[in-house]
Copies of this chain bind each other. A is one copy, B any other.
Amino acid sequence: MIKVVVIGSGNVAQHLISAFQKESSIQLVQAFARNINNLSRLLDASKITSDFSELKEADLYIIAVSDDALTSVSKSLVFKNKLVAHTSGSIAMEGLSDTNKKAVFYPLQTLSKNKEVNFKEVPLCIEAQNEADLKLLREVANSISDKVFEIDSEQRKSLHVAAVFVSNFVNHLYKLGNDICEEHHVSFEILKPLILETAKKAQVLLPDDAQTGPAIRKDSTTINKHLAILTDQNQKEIYKILTKSIIDHGKKL
């Protein structure tokens, strides 16, 4: 049985703790939280510490804290030559302290406290310094997820940027759609099936092959009608730049 310690008490840490607790092949030895109360919903108090010097022996320590805190937390670890992984999409593996063996255990999913997620479906991107460490990491990752990918720090950084486009920016477009509906007293409910179907299409078709709408048809009549309806300058500007991008870079039909 592989012994794991999770360091952190935020979103990612909590989802990892829950996922590990469901797996018999993993022994979640302990979790670290500056504020023990953050994890008391998930773990018995005896399994939580807020003192780095009390961290127990384990095969893998996963630091799931904010990017800002990562370096200082990794330097606070008092032991040496243990396998220590971080969970960040944008920090290189080398960002961890040199006193321990470095690794990355990056769950690429939007995890929120108010929404359950099936961790088996969460892609885990792993990286380590040598094959032995990678083997252990792979075993831990495979135990909680069906989608494990081995990618290096450079690839992970570009993946993180791509994730901002397909998730953070996409959600902002949902927000702008919602704003337009509210301004014109139309229910956003009408758009929800379209939102889901557009995402489902991307599971089976290449985005280039799924593109529809006035921009890809170069339908300037409709485009101009739309621009006339939009009164908000920010919405107008985003409409223009994305329409231009589709016309210039979309696959010619």
Contact = CB atoms under 8 A, between A and B. Distances in A.
A194 interface: yes
A248 interface: yes
Interface string A220-236: 01100110011000110
Contacts of A154: 184
Contacts of A170: 170, 173-174, 195, 198-199
The winner among A90, A198, A215 for most chain B CB atoms within 10 A is A198
B214 A203 contact: no
A163 interface: yes
Contact of A183 (B151, B158, B164): B158
A155 interface: yes
Interface string A185-199: 111111111111111
A207 B168 CA distance: 10
Number of copies of this kind of chain in the complex = 2
Contacts of A226: 90, 160-161, 164
Interface residues of A, number: 95
B180 A161 contact: yes
A125 interface: yes
A250 B181 contact: no
Interface of A: 67, 90, 108-110, 112, 114-115, 117, 121-123, 125, 147, 149, 151, 154-155, 157-181, 183-208, 210-216, 219, 221-222, 225-226, 229-230, 234-235, 237-239, 241-242, 245-246, 248-250
